[in-house]
């Protein structure tokens, strides 16, 4: 990440101690792993089907066939039915409906529309508190209006959405769609106590998805008098700025509002970076760094998000962040409420997963065999202060010759930036 950590890394006793710690931590994870996995992590079959769905959507030839959509709809449904302990189970149901929805849009058959809608309905009826319930309502309404030409039916679903999920993130879009279908129509507000209560319950549970992503703050690590790490001809402050600008222009092209902590080679304190989250009213914070390790064999693309967990590398990173943090206690904001903190952490984890998998996917497409360094956690001061979801990306180890050579190539940096940007977009669109 930085050259500040090198004194730590170069001390072999610390190095071996942290390795021992890591081994111990891994052992604990093995013991805990099974119990935790079933609740939090996506089943492998779900992830596979998700990747295939994305590929199918882009495949102009195969997407014209019926079978691949039917097959995916069934596979997602199987995950939904079997993974009864999985917390994100409604997502499998939603994707099953989505596959049928795509099929219906292509075939134009009424029976396909009916099946897709029935599956969406199952979601909002059985999982009314799910973050995807309003999305399901919205998609079902659009299918009705656009494929069945049933404007009245579509309006009914949209009004249900506005009434029951007035604070959900689909409410604005639903209202806009109502106006499009029927400009004269008044949009009903939830008025009965029961409805308000239900909506509140959903909003509370929905907590994690209250983050609307419109503005992204890109943080190019280091700069000016702080060069960052420097090996094999790679200078961290230059690479991070180049990447931030590339990521920013892609996001801006997709309609996002992009801000930067620095746009030139200048020094910015860590406190100023954190304050920028507040002053720019950013919804996401993305910090970009280049990694270094005393061992030239160590390589890989890694994404960190805010957490208290400590792996050896993570504690080194955190030490740097905390050592750099501003000294004026008066300027420090209060810590976010514990709830906000929890939500921020969950969202950051989801953002990290999107960035990690999308970037590696983009690099592999161009035949770069970049090592998957994985998603890691560290208690970053910058993120903790920000109150918004955020990640710190370590794009590669300049101490590794192969990665340093790649980072020197503009084609590699372009692909890295594409991966990071599309990971952010996927997160923002909840994919
Ligand atoms: Zn760094």
Share of the chain above pLDDT 90, in %: 40
Cβ(385)–Cβ(328) below 8 Å: no
> CA angle at residue 91 from 89 to 95, to 5 degrees?
130
The dihedral through the CA atoms of 418, 305, 40, 119 has a sign that is negative
* pLDDT of 31 higher than 90: no
CA of 271 to the centre of ligand 1 (A): 15
The stretch 2-16 carries a mean pLDDT of: 33
Q: What is the pLDDT of residue 188?
A: 64
CA of 171 to the centre of ligand 1 (A): 40
* pLDDT of 238 higher than 50: yes
The stretch 285-307 carries a mean pLDDT of: 92
User: Hey, what domains does the chain have and what are their CATH numbers?
Assistant: 6-33+211-428 (3.40.630.40), 39-208 (1.25.40.10)
CA of 2 to the centre of ligand 1 (A): 4
Buried (b) or exposed (e) across 126-142, using 16+ Cβ within 10 A? ebeebbbbbbbbbbbbb
Share of the chain above pLDDT 70, in %: 73
**DSSP secondary structure string for all residues of 173-215:** HHHHHHHHH-TTPPPPPP-SHHHHHHHHHHHHHHGGG----SE
Q: What is the pLDDT of residue 339?
A: 52
The stretch 288-297 carries a mean pLDDT of: 95
Q: State which H helix or E strand residue 222 sits in.
A: none
CA of 228 to the centre of ligand 1 (A): 5
The stretch 251-258 carries a mean pLDDT of: 94
Q: What is the pLDDT of residue 429?
A: 82
Q: In the structure, what pLDDT confidence band is assigned to residue 44 with cuts at 50, 70 and 90?
A: confident
Q: What is the pLDDT of residue 381?
A: 64
CA of 216 to the centre of ligand 1 (A): 20
Cβ(371)–Cβ(300) below 8 Å: yes
Separation CA 307–CA 345 (nearest Å): 7
CA of 184 to the centre of ligand 1 (A): 55
Separation CA 414–CA 426 (nearest Å): 18
CA of 224 to the centre of ligand 1 (A): 13
Separation CA 175–CA 152 (nearest Å): 15
* 278 CB neighbour count, 10 Å cutoff: 14
Please tell me which residue, 342 or 5, carries the higher pLDDT value.
342
CA of 276 to the centre of ligand 1 (A): 18
* pLDDT of 335 higher than 60: no
Please tell me which residue, 83 or 39, carries the higher pLDDT value.
83
Q: Is the pTM of this model over 0.85?
A: no
CA of 391 to the centre of ligand 1 (A): 13
* pLDDT of 43 higher than 80: yes
Q: What is the pLDDT of residue 58?
A: 86
**Ligand 1 ion: nearby residues, β-carbon < 5 Å:** 1-2, 221, 228, 289
CA of 226 to the centre of ligand 1 (A): 10
Q: What is the pLDDT of residue 194?
A: 44
Separation CA 346–CA 214 (nearest Å): 19
Q: What is the pLDDT of residue 124?
A: 87
Cβ(375)–Cβ(353) below 8 Å: yes
Average pLDDT along the chain? 77
CA of 431 to the centre of ligand 1 (A): 29
β partners of residue 287: 219, 392
Q: What is the pLDDT of residue 179?
A: 86
Q: What is the pLDDT of residue 39?
A: 53
CA of 422 to the centre of ligand 1 (A): 22
Q: What is the pLDDT of residue 54?
A: 86
């Amino acid at each position: 990440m930085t050259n500040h950590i090198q004194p730590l890394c170069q001390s072999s006793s610390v190095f071996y101690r942290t390795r021992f710690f890591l081994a111990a931590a891994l052992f604990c994870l093995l013991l805990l792993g099974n119990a935790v996995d079933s609740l939090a992590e996506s089943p492998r079959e779900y992830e596979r089907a998700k990747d295939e769905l994305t590929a199918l959507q882009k495949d102009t030839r195969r997407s014209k066939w019926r079978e691949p959509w039917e097959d995916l709809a069934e596979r997602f449904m199987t995950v939904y039915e079997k993974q009864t302990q999985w917390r994100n189970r409604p997502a499998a149901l939603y994707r099953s409906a989505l596959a049928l929805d795509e099929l219906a849009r292509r075939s134009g058959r009424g029976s396909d529309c009916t099946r897709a809608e029935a599956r969406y309905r199952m979601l909002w009826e059985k999982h009314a508190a799910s973050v995807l319930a309003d999305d399901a309502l919205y998609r079902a309404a659009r299918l009705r209006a656009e494929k069945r030409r049933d404007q009245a039916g579509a309006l009914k679903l949209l009004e249900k959405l506005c009434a029951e999920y007035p604070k959900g993130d689909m409410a604005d879009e639903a209202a806009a769609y109502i106006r499009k279908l029927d400009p004269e129509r008044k949009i009903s507000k939830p008025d009965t106590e029961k409805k308000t209560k239900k909506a509140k319950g959903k909003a509370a549970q929905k907590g994690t998805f209250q983050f609307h992503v419109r503005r992204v703050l890109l943080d190019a690590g280091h700069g000016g008098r702080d060069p960052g790490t420097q090996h094999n001809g790679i200078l961290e402050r230059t690479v991070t700025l180049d990447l931030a600008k590339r990521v920013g222009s892609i996001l801006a092209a997709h309609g996002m509002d992009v801000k930067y902590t620095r746009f030139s080679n200048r020094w910015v304190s860590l406190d100023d970076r954190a304050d920028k989250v507040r002053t720019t009213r950013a919804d996401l914070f993305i910090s970009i760094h280049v990694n270094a390790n005393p061992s030239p064999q160590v390589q890989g693309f890694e994404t960190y998000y805010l957490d208290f967990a400590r792996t050896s590398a993570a504690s080194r990173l955190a030490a740097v962040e905390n050592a750099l943090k501003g000294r004026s206690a008066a300027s420090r904001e209060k810590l976010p409420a514990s709830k906000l903190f929890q939500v921020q952490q969950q969202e950051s984890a989801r953002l990290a997963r999107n960035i990690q998998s999308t970037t590696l996917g983009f690099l592999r497409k161009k035949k770069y065999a970049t090592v998957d360094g994985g998603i890691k956690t560290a208690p970053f001061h910058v993120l903790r202060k920000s109150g918004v979801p955020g990640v710190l990306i370590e794009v590669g180890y300049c101490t590794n010759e192969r990665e340093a050579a790649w980072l020197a190539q503009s084609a590699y940096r372009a692909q890295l930036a594409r991966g990071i940007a599309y990971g952010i977009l996927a997160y923002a669109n909840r994919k």
